[in-house]
Structure formats: structure tokens, C-alpha cells
Structure 1
């Protein structure tokens, strides 16, 4: 792995104990949903530039797509044959019909088909990391479905397992079934804390990667505050860069995956890996 790239400035994490990734990754959702890009060639350029900058952890899902823009196919076109150090993470669980909003959840018996479809579309013989994405309903059991993914891991189709949108009890339930390498939950500087549900601290104690989705609010929540603007001004940085630097500073197991469809925004996001916030900055942002 090239340790002199901009993304490497944020440090690295050993995912699942055997896959070393730079902590600042890339989320592919906005290439296919909600972004400004409508040209597959532009999306491919963003992906290739991300890897040039040292990003080697890319997050995707089979349900990220709109028309001709489908994140799996864009990733395969841009990056296959894949670099040896590249980790591609995907998610299974939601059932979507005719749009992005889920119409239900896949049962245990449906997950093999979803995993095999991801393998085919990404052009891989195994998937580096597969999350079971759940609805977030309190008390929802995930054990049977996670066990189905664990069986696929034993067969060699999946290298590492993760869970997404879970609370502490659901994380414990999953860990009782099989090793959990990563958790993907909502967390950003403008959040009210309800999305964390105590999970980041649990992940840090267990050495599990915590991957915040919507690290910059996802267009649904504003991260902008006067205090954030003040910290950004002191560093000569954008508020988005400070928000990403804050996530990197929260815990050594935190792996932000900001997404963008813009080359300029990509460069800006990756440059945040080199920012170092002071104790005073962190206190102001708390």
C-alpha cells in the first residue's frame, strides 16, 4: 500500500484483522443517487481519482442506482482489475422495487441470491465486506439473517461480515453468531447523538471498525454551526473538512466514507485526512 498518498495522512486500520485500509474512504452512493453527476464517464473519473489519492476502502450497495448509473457497475468499469489493497464493502438486506425507498427486508433465504448478484455485478469471486443492513426497528432480531451470511462466509464467498443501522443489542446478537468486522451507523457532527446508540464506544473497545454513513449530514441534516465555522477559519479549511477531521479524531476505529460526484469535492474531502484538530478545537465542537 502506498503510504505517501493524501488519504494515508489520516492513518490506517486493520479491517477484520487482515485488511489494512486507509481510514478515510469513499462512499459510492452519490455517484448513482442524489449527486449532480449524470455522466457515467464523470463517475468513473471520480472513482479512479479516489484510488490515485490513496483511497482503498469503497462502500457501495446493489440498490445504489438510477437509470444507467449503478454504483456496482461504475466501480467495476472504473477499477477492475482491482488493486490488491482495495477493499470493496457492500450491503444487503433491503428489498427495493422501482425506487430507492425499501419496500421490505430480505429473509434469510434470499440473502444468498443478493450476495451472488453482487459478486456477478462487481466481477469478484468473493466480497471483501458484506453488511447486513437492517431497518433500525428497536428490538428487531437479526440473528437468523446474519447466520445466513455467516454460512456464505464459511463457503468463502464473503471475507468479512458487518452490520448496519444497528443498536447495541443487535450488535451483540450478531457477534454471538459470527465475528463482526465493521458496523455502519449514522454519525456526523450535526447529529443529536440518537444515531450513535452507544455503538461507537462498543466498537472501539472490541476493535471493530465503525463506519459513519452520512458523515457530512447526507443532505438531510445540516452540520453548519458558528463553532464549526470558527474552527474551520482557524485552520484555513472548509467546514466539511473539519467535520471529517472530527470524525477521524473521535476514535482510531472510525472510518468515514464521504461520497461525492465532484472531483473538486473529492480532492477537498481527502485533504481532510491531513488535518489535526487541537484539544481546544475538539472542545469547541463537542
Structure 2
């Protein structure tokens, strides 16, 4: 088995699909406001191919990124896919323009979007299909129930949830096996700590979106900046290394539209934090 830089991040098994823990999120491959085509479509393709070259085999996307744009870019760049590539997509948010996101969880709509994602990604089965948001107008059991039907039909392999509470996961778990959850979580914002602990206790993968929100933490003289200087690393690399160490179920998916930025992010896989460094970063917030 070929060793790649990203392999240093370790692995996690989503149901029966083993992936390297440091993945790639495709949202930034679209236009402003996650709307329309990227400024440089060729660079977007290069980013995806370089990510895989470096060992990324877990790629997160959604039907609403573009919409459709990100899924079709992934197909253009990577299909036919290597056997170990796991594509995770989502449905449940509709788009009416840049930066506009409206939940729709009607079963017929979720089924339609799953069928379209199969086509747009160029796959016969979606490895991980996530409910992008719970629609408050539709019973949760109907939304997750439709994903369970798609799973039984072999169109999706595993089911995930996005932006949920522990209570949501417990309710959904009565309808189907929940393999992953995806919530906002980073060094500066740990509001999903309770959900992360629940995920770890139950072997559920935790996908932190917006993993690189270093902001004020990286200003000159801060613990993040000081440790980064000492280790010859970037603040982003430290933020990712902290996430990887925080929990064995953590699956960070940093995204970018630049190959150079991608390579910098993925170098975090091999970055080892000492106990003191980890504690200093944790205490910085």
C-alpha cells in the first residue's frame, strides 16, 4: 500500500468505508456566495486531483454547492474514481441565489436530489449521503426515513446528518443508523462539544465544517502564532492538527480553491503537537 502525506492523519471507518481522517471540502470550488462557477475552473480541477495525489480519499460536497457545480467538478476531475475514494454529498438545502439557503426536507425532494447526485457525481452508489438541514416543516422521521429507503435500495451506502443536536441524532437513530454528523466546529468555536462527545461515545464520525476559523487566535503574540513560529508551521496547520488530536472520530475537511493553500493545509496531517502545545491551544479560547 502506497504511503501518502495525508495517511499520517490516521484513518476512520464510516460504517464499512475506511478513509484517511484529513479530507477535503468542496464548497470553496464554486463562485462567490457558493453560487455559480469558480473563477478558475481549471485550478479547481487541479486542486481536486492534487488532493487525491496527496492521499485525500474523503471528499465532502453537496447538491447545493453551486448548485450542482461542485459535484460536476468532482466528476470531471476524478471519475472514474479510485476504489478507495469516498464521496460524501448532501441534500436538503435549496438555493435561490448567492448566500441564500432554504431547507426543504420533503421525501420526494430528497429522493430527487439523491438521484441527481448519482448522475452529477457519476457514481452508482453514494458513499455517504447527508441530510444537509432538518426541515422544521417535515417530521424528522419522514426525512431520515426516505434516506433509509434509498439506503435499502442500494443508492446510498451510509447516512449522515448536518447541523444537529444530540437529541436530533438520538431521534434519527431510531429510524436509521447514523454514520456521521457534520456541525460547525473549530479551535475558536466549540459550541458543538456535546455533540462531538456523543459522536465519539457511539463511534459516529464527526465532520467539522469551517475548521480553519483562526481569526483573532492567530494575531501576533497569540499562543497560536507563537507555537506556529516555534514549529515552523502555519496557524491553519496548527488548527487542523489540534482538531485531529481532539478526537479519533474527527474528520476535518478544509477547503480551498488554490493548490498552494491545499498543500499547506494537508501538511497538517504530519504535524504532531506536544501535550503542552495542545493544552495551550485549547486554553487560548
Match of 2:55 in 1: 54
Aligned-partner Cα distance in 1 for 2:135–2:251: 21
TM-score, with structure 1 as normaliser = 0.91
Q: Which runs of 5+ in 1 are unaligned?
A: none
Match of 1:236 in 2: 232
1:154-175 deviations in Å (ceiling 9; x for gaps): 0000000000000110011111
Match of 2:82 in 1: 83
Out of 1, 17, 20, which is 1:19 matched to?
17
1:18-47 deviations in Å (ceiling 9; x for gaps): 111000000000011449951211110110
1:204-247 deviations in Å (ceiling 9; x for gaps): 11111100001012x9x655351111121121100000000000
Residues 1:115 and 2:114 aligned together = yes
8 Å Cα contact 2:103/2:133 also seen in 1: no
Match of 2:142 in 1: 144
1:123-181 deviations in Å (ceiling 9; x for gaps): 111100001122597x9952220111111000000000000000110011111111111
Match of 1:272 in 2: 268
The change in CA–CA distance for 1:165 and 1:231 in structure 2 (over 3 A counts) is same
Aligned-partner Cα distance in 2 for 1:60–1:105: 18
The CA deviation at 1:101 is: 1.2
Aligned-partner Cα distance in 1 for 2:108–2:276: 51
Aligned-partner Cα distance in 2 for 1:84–1:222: 41
Moved more, 29-38 or 275-284: 29-38
Match of 2:197 in 1: 201
The CA deviation at 1:197 is: 5.2
Out of 155, 158, 164, which is 1:157 matched to?
155
Moved more, 37-46 or 50-59: 37-46
Moved more, 241-250 or 39-48: 39-48
1:91-141 deviations in Å (ceiling 9; x for gaps): 11112223341234231221110100111111111100001122597x995
Aligned-partner Cα distance in 1 for 2:38–2:107: 35
Aligned-partner Cα distance in 2 for 1:273–1:136: 36
The CA deviation at 1:77 is: 0.4
TM-score, with structure 2 as normaliser = 0.92
Aligned-partner Cα distance in 2 for 1:98–1:228: 36
How many residues get paired? 277
The change in CA–CA distance for 1:136 and 1:213 in structure 2 (over 3 A counts) is farther
